[in-house]
Every structure is written in C-alpha cells, then in structure tokens.
Amino acid sequence: MSIDLSIFTSYAPQFFLGFWMTIKIVIGAIILGMPFGLVLALCQRSRFRLLRILTISYIEIFRNTPFIIQLFIFFYVLPFYGLHLPAAYVGTVALAAFGSAYFAEVIRGGINAVTKGQLESARATGMSDWAAMRYVVLPQTLPIILPAMTNQTLSLVKESAILSTITVGELTMAAITVQGETFRPFEAFIMIAIMYWALNETIAIIMRRVERKVSNRSNSGRANG
C-alpha cells in the first residue's frame, strides 16, 4: 500500500485547526478540573457526613462509568433543562468533570501520604484547619502528586478524542473529515497519531522538568530545616 504524502500537506491547515482545538479544550478542562478536584479531595475530609457521602458518590460515579456515556448525558440531557451550549463547551465541561474525579483521588492520596503529625503540629501552633492544610500539608503534597497528575493530564488529552462523537472540531474530528473527503484513512489517522504523540510527549517532558525542580526545592527546604 502506497502512502499519499500530499494529504499531509494539502490538509495540514485542517489538522492544525483540530490540533489547536484539542489544546484549548484540554487546557480548559485542566483549569476547571484541577481546582474542582482539590475541592473534592478536601470535601472527603469534611466533618459533615452528608458532604463526604455526596463527594465520594460523585467521584465513584465519574471514575466507574465510561467517559463517552458521561459525555452523551451532558450533551443530550442538558438541553432538556434549558442549557443549550456549543458542543465544544459541553465537551470541555464534561472532560473537566471526568478529570476532576481522578484529580481528586490523586490529591487525596498525596494528602494522606503526608504524616498526620504535620497537620497536628500546625494545629498546635494555633493554625486553623484550612491554614494548616494550605501552608503545611499541600506544599508537601505537590512533589508527591506531580507524577500522577501528569499521567492524568496525558489521559485527558487522549480522552478528548471522544469529543468527536458530539461533532466537536478537535483533532480526531479533523481526521474523520479528511478521510471522508479523501478515502485515505491510513494517512489521516497516522497524521493525528503523530500529533497526539507530539503533544503528550511535550507535556511529559515539561512536567518531568517541573517535577525535578519541585523535588530539588523540597529537598533543599528539608536540608535547610
């Protein structure tokens, strides 16, 4: 089977438009999902039993059901309640909701990895629970959770391909459109496979450098302490 290289050049603008849409959606999902994941992680430690139950239920539902089903619920059910949003917005919110459940578990695990004595010592100095969490526990949590947060971010990039099922013009949708026009699926999907790999590899390289800097800073702080 011969490869038609002209498809890579002729349809490059279409691929890069989809690539840019994928980047925007993933960034939006991270901006929404990470802070919400932190809130969920902290809510699991709440003294209020009902809040803990609701939080755990949310996390378990989003972790144990397929993302494509969650996406369809957002896309097809929300309009029945008067929420008519563009597909890209719905996809971003759905991806953020999905990612937040995993971010919450990563953050919760990181918090639990910090010895309880740290929190108790902070409280003994007169700090409130929130102040102790913010200034003592969470800074120590960051180097612990960064590798897992990186993996989850890479997963969001890959899961974003499912948004093509609701006609979001992201990278996979671009490939589907190109192969429909050219009847050359091999070239179209090879192209986006390379682009997904390049995006995730770039993220992984950046995050590995961040991990080293955070780890060095944390080790330096312990040495000075």
**Which among 106, 128, 125 has a CA at the least distance from the CA of 44?**
106
pLDDT tens-digit map of 46-97: 889 999 999 999 999 999 999 999 999 999 998 988 888 999 999 999 999 9
Going 117 to 122 to 124 to 127, the CA torsion angle's sign is negative
What DSSP element (H or E) covers 173? helix 171-182
**Which among 218, 199, 217, 128 has a CA at the least distance from the CA of 160?**
199
**Which among 39, 68, 25 has a CA at the least distance from the CA of 156?**
25
Top pLDDT among 6 and 120 is at: 6
pTM over 0.75: yes
Per-residue model confidence (pLDDT) at position 224: 56
What value does the mean pLDDT of the chain take?
Answer: 91
6-10, 24-28, 172-176, 177-181: least confidently modelled range: 6-10
Residue 167's alpha-carbon distances to 44, 88, 110, 158, 195, in angstroms, are 36, 8, 37, 16, 20
